[in-house]
Each structure stands twice: as C-alpha cells, then as structure tokens.
Amino acid sequence: MPVTPDALTYADDLADFVASSPSSYHAAAETARRLEAAGFERLHEEQAWEIRPGGRYVVVRDGATIGWSVPSDASATTPSHIFGAHTDSPGFKLKPQPTTGGRGWLQAAVEVYGGPLLNSWLDRELTLAGRLALADGRVVLADTGALLRLPQLAVHLDRGVNNNGLALDKQAETQPVWGLGDVAEADILAELARSADASASDIRGYDVVIADAARGAVFGKDDAFFASGRLDDLASVHAGVVALERAGVADSGPIAILAAFDHEELGSNSRSGAAGPFLEDILGRVYDALGADSSQRRQAFASSWCLSSDVGHSVHPNYAQKHDPVVQPVLGSGPILKINANQRYATDAVGSAAWRGWCDAADVATQEFVSNNNVPCGSTIGPITATRLGIRTVDVGIPILSMHSARELAGVSDLHDLTRVAGTFFAG
Ligand code: ZN
C-alpha cells in the first residue's frame, strides 16, 4: 500500500531533524529550538521558574531535554503523560590529543561510543560534531560537516575478507582520516573551532562525536523505506517533538511531557541520562508550582504514564531464524509494543491495554515484539524510569533493520504512525 503524502512530508522533516542533530547536544538544542518556535518558553535550571496552567516550557540539560505542556485546568493531582526517548546514538567519540596520523595522512583519535556495528562506518563521509567549552565560559555547538572517512582496506590487500569476514581492531583500525599533510602542523580542534566561530586556543574542553554526514532518504517500492543515520533514537525524539508541537495547549487532560535523555547507549547512568535525576527534578518543580504536597504528587504519579519509545528489530528476511518463530514485526505494519519476560522492557498487561487504546484512538495498527529465547534483546530507558519514579511504563517504538549501523532502515509509514500515537497519548 502506498504511503500517504503526510507520511512522506513527515519523513522529510525527520531527515531535517536528523541532519540538524549530529550529536546528542545538537539533538537537545534542536528539540528546544523547535519547541520555542512553536511557542514554548525556554527555562534554565539555575533560575527560579513560574510554571502556570496553560503554559508550555522546555529545559535543556547537557545532551538531554524535557519539554512539557500544562493543560489549562491542571491541579496538584493532574497526571503526567511522559513520552521518553534518547538523543544519543552509537558511534565514536573524539579522544584527548586527537590529532594523529602519519605517512602523509592526518587522522583523528577516537574512542568507540556504545555498541556501533563497526563495519557499517567504513567508506562514508563523516562529520565531527558536539560541544566546545571555551575559555570565556561559553559552551557552543560545533559541526564541521563532512570531514572524515574510515577507508576500508582494498580486497586485493585482504584476499580472504569475503570468506573469513571482517573483524576490525577497535583501536588500530577505527581511526578515521581527515586530511593530508604534516601531523605536527595540523590541529583537528581548529576545524571544530572554525565551525563554531571560535579559535582552537579557546577550547578548554569538548564532547565531540563522529556522525554519518549523509542526509536521510526515502526509497523502495511505493516509497516504503527511509534510511538514515541515528534513527536510534532520533526517530522517537522527533515523533515526540512533532506530537508536542501539534498538541498545542489543552483545556484539560494530562500534563504532556517529552523527555529526551542522553547516554542510553551507555546504560543511562549520568546526570542527563534516564537513570539520573533530570525527569524527577522537572516533575518536582512542575508539581511544586501546581501546589502539590508530597502525597498529592504521589497521587498524580500513580495515575501517570510513561511511553518509552526506542527502536526495535523488524524481522530480517535473510536471518529469520534470529527472531521469534511466530512474532515477527515488519517495516510498514505499525509501531511495535515491546515485551520481555525478564523486564528488559517494562511493558505489562495493563500497559499493553493502554497502548492498544492510544493506537486505536489514533487509528494506527500496532505489532508486537518479543525476542527469540536464544537471542536476548537489549534494554532501554523504560525499565529505568519505571524503577526510578514508580510511574507505569510501556516500551514501544518503530521496527527497524540494521540497528546500530551508521545508516539504519525504517518504514516511512511507521515513523508517521508513531507521532500520531504520541499525539493521542499526550491527549490522554
Ligand atoms: Zn536506542
């Protein structure tokens, strides 16, 4: 079935969002920029806040961001509906003393960030992006655009590669090239500084990653496919942003919250990760402003929901044996409800029923995901937020292929369907 014009427009907007978000810091800033453009008020954690019913707000903490819309009739016990996602993606991070190389080549010294599919990063134009802490106290974003490449060794010099497979050494074989010349006279930080209108000598610290420079693209029969870097998990962050923009200010219903955390790919343990206090800090200030005492806040939490959205696995036609023999979600048939007996996902019976209700209200089809027992699944922010706050949580997402590749594959209709369900979720 052909995808709708709305879904194609939405995919193009997602491509813009991903292109503007090469690092988690960019993703958090772009989310805040879009929400501010839609009328949200930017708040800063070190300042006093005035949160009112009928108001919409957004806060950035490092590479994480939380935006929320308070309905006009909000009271001390109004529940929250929290759409959770993460801003970071697996890849590489720039090391200290990053300018290396030899034999006429300039290279960048990088660490592996999270669990990327290393081979997928070969032979692509890559950008260097993140944040720079400057001597004058400013923290600025930097993005060089296409600058680097990790060239694969030619088949003539590696005759066995197509029979023996390719296993990259994580240190020796993952250091990308970014130019030609004398290492002693080069400085990759100068490239970053230039992109931020600063000078290399001003840089006192940096958090900089490498990202695929190519733009997302729609293709395939009936425009079914969307390929892009960082769909894990910018597809979810974007779905939440669009749903929150579209939601406007409600007269009644829950407090609609988008919580986009950093560091999920590392286990979420940081001050801007889902295991940290960011969401709890925001909820505390919101309910304080609504006049909630601690039991009223617990009342509100007891009727609140978190929809934890992250990508999941579509069945792969070449590797069907890796999937559950019966439950086999596929691209284009709707967002997935993720289920795991060992609480790698927080979904339970009550959450499943709630999810199906939000999907029905949005007129969106849904599929289930469960792992093959011999192939344990990963986890995500859902169980962490449920454990921290005691808020009922459902793990969902879109099915993709090539998870953790530099360029992942999603279904155009699923992307749009996810934001439609996020919309009915925010409406309550
Ligand atoms: Zn993820």
CA of 408 to the centre of ligand 1 (A): 12
CA of 114 to the centre of ligand 1 (A): 10
Q: What is the pLDDT of residue 371?
A: 94
Give, in order, the Cα–Cα distances in Å from 45 to each of 19, 48, 49, 58, 132: 28, 8, 8, 10, 20
CA of 116 to the centre of ligand 1 (A): 11
Domain ranges of the chain: 5-89+229-427, 91-212
Give, in order, the Cα–Cα distances in Å from 302 to each of 72, 252, 255, 296, 388: 21, 18, 14, 10, 13
CA of 294 to the centre of ligand 1 (A): 33
Distance CA(236)–CA(84), nearest Å, equals: 8
Residues with CB under 5 A from ligand 1 (ion): 232-233, 310
Query: Quick count: other Cβ atoms within 10 Å of Cβ 321?
Result: 10
Q: What is the pLDDT of residue 2?
A: 85
CA angle, 397 then 316 then 211, to 5°: 60
- The dotted CATH code for 5-89+229-427 is 3.40.630.10
CA of 231 to the centre of ligand 1 (A): 8
Coil, helix or strand at residue 265? helix
What are the residues whose beta carbons fall under 8 Å from the beta carbon of 191, sequence distance 6 or more? Answer: 128, 144, 147, 178
CA of 397 to the centre of ligand 1 (A): 9
| Farthest-apart Cα atoms in the chain, separation | 71
CA of 255 to the centre of ligand 1 (A): 25
CA of 154 to the centre of ligand 1 (A): 32
Distance CA(139)–CA(137), nearest Å, equals: 7
CA of 155 to the centre of ligand 1 (A): 33
Q: What is the pLDDT of residue 331?
A: 98
- Each residue's pLDDT expressed in tens, for the chain with a length of 428 residues: 789 999 999 999 999 999 999 999 999 999 999 999 999 999 999 999 999 999 999 999 999 999 999 999 999 999 999 999 999 999 999 999 999 999 999 999 999 999 999 999 999 999 999 999 999 999 999 999 999 999 999 999 999 999 988 999 999 999 999 999 999 999 999 999 999 999 999 999 999 999 999 999 999 999 999 999 999 999 999 999 999 999 999 999 999 999 999 999 999 999 999 999 999 999 999 999 999 999 999 999 999 999 999 999 999 999 999 999 999 999 999 999 999 999 999 999 999 999 999 999 999 999 999 999 999 888 888 889 889 899 999 999 999 999 999 999 999 999 999 999 999 999 99
Q: What is the pLDDT of residue 267?
A: 93
Level-2 CATH architecture, domain 91-212: Roll (2.30)
Q: What is the pLDDT of residue 297?
A: 97
What are the residues whose beta carbons fall under 8 Å from the beta carbon of 175, sequence distance 6 or more? Answer: 100, 107, 108, 109, 110, 150
CA of 395 to the centre of ligand 1 (A): 11
Q: What tokens appear for 5 in the block?
A: 């014009």
CA of 306 to the centre of ligand 1 (A): 16
CA of 230 to the centre of ligand 1 (A): 9
Could you please report the per-residue DSSP string of 77-137? T--EEEEEEE---SEEEEEEEEEEEETTEEEEEEEEES---GGGGTT--EEEEEEEEETTS
CA 265 to chain centre: 10
Omega cis (within 30) before 233: yes
CA of 384 to the centre of ligand 1 (A): 13
> What is the dihedral sign for C-alpha 355, 357, 361, 363?
positive
CA of 310 to the centre of ligand 1 (A): 5
Query: Quick count: other Cβ atoms within 10 Å of Cβ 252?
Result: 11
CA of 378 to the centre of ligand 1 (A): 9
What are the residues whose beta carbons fall under 8 Å from the beta carbon of 105, sequence distance 6 or more? Answer: 177, 179, 180
CA of 352 to the centre of ligand 1 (A): 20
Long-range contacts of 5-8 (CB under 8 A, 24+ apart): 6/416, 7/412, 7/413, 7/415, 7/416, 8/218, 8/223, 8/412
CA of 102 to the centre of ligand 1 (A): 36
Q: What is the pLDDT of residue 6?
A: 97
Which H helix or E strand runs over 300? helix 294-302
